[in-house]
Structure 1
Amino acid sequence: MKYARLTKEQFEELHPEFINFLATQSIDKAEWDKIKSENPQIAEQELDVFSDLIWEGVLTRAEYLEHFSKNHIFLFHAGDAQIKSLVLKSLDGNVDFLTKAGLQWLGDNMFTDTIEMKMGTRDFGEDRNASIFALIQQGAFLSDGQLYRQIISVMNS
């Protein structure tokens, strides 16, 4: 398995897609039930293959990610060969970006001496999707990129 098995909730959400996945392998409901009861290891492998297919599609389309911690916000823009990062750090130890008040503080203090901003660019190397998945495993989540684009737009104006 290249990525991680989907959660039970994710499988439930993707039930129609999983049925289609099994159908491409000529496995209907009766056959699937038989596989689960008689060859659970084969069923596990099918779940893993399906999970990897879903992750591969999601990661291939991924463009923006965000990761919030108490004093840092990491914003990422993933291109084809490189990923750009924008890191915001609060120099005020009392600020918590994990709260609504902390985000409001950020909005009020974005371009002041209390926020340190760093930008960077890194090549993905051989496997773009694995690099993005590693960020997700560290706590990043996919986003629409609105915050990243807003900050870059203000910085460039």
Structure 2
Amino acid sequence: MKYRQLTKEQFESLHSEFSQFLASQSIDVKEWTQIKKEKLSIAEDQMNVFSDIVWDDVLSKTNYAEHFSKTSVNLFKCDDNEIYRVAIKVNWDINLLEQKGFEWLMKNPMDNSVDIFKGSKPYNFERNLEIFDLIEKGSSISKGEIFEYFNTIIS
């Protein structure tokens, strides 16, 4: 397995897509019910293959990711061959996870208590695997507005 199996909730939300996937494997509802009961390893294999397909599709379309903590933000732009990072650290007692703290940062990006760093690197591994690793470590896929805002400020 390339990534990880989708959660039960993710499978439920992708019920019709999973049904289409099983149909493409010539597995109907009756047969799937039987496989789940009698051939658990085959059922797991089918779920793993579907999970990898979904993850690959989502990650291939991902251009930005972000990770917030109480006093720092890591923003990522994921190009085809390189990943760009804007790291922001606020050096006073603020909570960027709360609306008030986030709004303060957006209004005061050049405050003396704010350190902003910028960098880039080529991917060490396959692009999608590196983005998946960011997600597994707590990053969220984003539209990139915050990355582009800070990238413009420091350019």
Task: Spell out, residue by residue over 1:90-148, the C-alpha distance to the aligned partner (whole angstroms, 9 max, x if none).
Answer: 011x1111111211221232112110000010111341111111111110010000111
Identity of counterpart residues, as a percentage?
40
Cα distance between partner residues in 2 of 1:76 and 1:154: 15
What residue in structure 1 maps to residue 151 of structure 2? Answer: 152
Aligned residues between the structures: 155
- Partners of 1:95 and 1:105 within 8 A in 2: no
Matched letter for residue 132 of structure 1: I
DSSP 3-state at the match of 1:142: strand
Does residue 79 of the first structure (1) align with residue 79 of the second (2)? yes
Matched letter for residue 12 of structure 2: E
My pick for the range that moved more, 29-38 or 100-109, is: 100-109
Cα distance between partner residues in 2 of 1:39 and 1:97: 48
Return 5+ residue gaps in structure 2 as ranges: none
Cα distance between partner residues in 2 of 1:107 and 1:23: 49
DSSP 3-state at the match of 1:139: coil
Does residue 61 of the first structure (1) align with residue 70 of the second (2)? no
What residue in structure 2 maps to residue 43 of structure 1? Answer: 43
DSSP 3-state at the match of 1:132: helix
Cα distance between partner residues in 2 of 1:40 and 1:4: 17
Cα distance between partner residues in 2 of 1:25 and 1:7: 21
Return 5+ residue gaps in structure 1 as ranges: none
Matched letter for residue 11 of structure 1: F
Task: Spell out, residue by residue over 1:70-106, the C-alpha distance to the aligned partner (whole angstroms, 9 max, x if none).
Answer: 11100000000100000010011x1111111211221
C-alpha RMSD of matched pairs (Å): 1.0
- Partners of 1:81 and 1:125 within 8 A in 2: no
